[in-house]
Amino acid sequence: MKIATWNINGVKARIDNLVTWLKDSQPDIVCLQEIKSVDENFPRLEIEALGYHVETHGQKGFNGVAILSKLRFDEVTCRLPGNDGDDHARFIEGVFSTSAGALRVVSLYLPNGNPVGTEKFTYKLGWMERLEAWAKDRLALEEPIVLAGDYNVIPQPIDAKNPDVWVNDALYQPESRSAFRQLSWLGFTDGIRAVTDEALYTFWDYQAGAWQKNNGIRIDHLMLSPEAARHLQAASVEKHVRAWEKPSDHVPAVVELAMSAV
């Protein structure tokens, strides 16, 4: 089973690229972030025509997450618990029946957190604390779980072409990186890093020729619970998508798990 995450940076602006990629890559489950669309305006017909079921948690103009799946959804849950006043559309969970039992897949879009020292950074860290609490609760179910999305965290120096440039950025702050490591300490495995130590990136800014210079960072991650990690067969970054016309500034990151639909 191929599970992918992609910050699409506006689904209506990238729908042609999304459809082309779905046809070429043939993922079974796709987690999208920054769809920047309310639910009723999401271009689901184009995607459903390719055999996908679609669930969205949208928001007008910014944020928004979605899960596209060739498997039928058994359950869908929107919003990360822990803050009833948080109206940002950043979290959607789908549950699917597979040969390995119930599979839980989350599409998440963590806050950017910049500038450091403002309420935006406080919100980022608070969101990560809520994610950790949610993950602890779900791990008790002892099911395969994939936490896939744009974490807006650069975990290690190898995950940036020029890490020194990011030392004052919220994506690379010690607090952000420590909060990300908490998931590993709970037992989650970074799918990409489990298969390679290569310097791979998932984001290249539109400015300053970042793509042409390969001046990228890796901030899109697929974190696997122990029950999911034991099924891990492969992981990769589909970098070529960034060279397409009118691209997102992110590219898909993918894991392949030894399980199938039932």
**pLDDT on residue 20:** 98
**pLDDT on residue 94:** 98
d(CA 204, CA 213): 9
Structure tokens belonging to residue 98: 């597979």
Structure tokens belonging to residue 119: 């309420």
Give the list of residues 6+ apart from residue 16 with CB closer than 8 angstroms, or none.
Answer: 246
Considering only CA atoms, which of 47, 49, 51 is closest in space to residue 6? 47
Q: Which domain holds residue 244?
A: 2-257
For the chain of 262 residues, list the mean pLDDT of each consecutive stretch of 10. Answer: 98 98 98 98 97 97 97 98 96 97 98 98 98 98 98 98 97 98 97 97 96 98 98 98 98 98 90
Give the list of residues 6+ apart from residue 148 with CB closer than 8 angstroms, or none.
Answer: 3, 4, 5, 31, 105, 106, 107, 108, 221, 222, 223, 253
Domain count for the chain, please give it: 1
**pLDDT on residue 166:** 98
**pLDDT on residue 175:** 98
**Where residue 172 sits, what CATH number does that domain have?**
3.60.10.10
Please say whether the beta carbons of 11 and 43 come within 8 A. yes
Residue 262 lies in a domain: no
**pLDDT on residue 176:** 98
d(CA 4, CA 149): 9
Give the list of residues 6+ apart from residue 144 with CB closer than 8 angstroms, or none.
Answer: 98, 100, 101, 102, 103, 104, 224, 225, 227, 228, 231, 257, 259
Structure tokens belonging to residue 116: 């450091």
| Total-model pTM | 0.98
Residue 49 lies in a domain: yes
> How much of the chain is helix, strand and coil, in % rounded to 5?
25, 25, 45
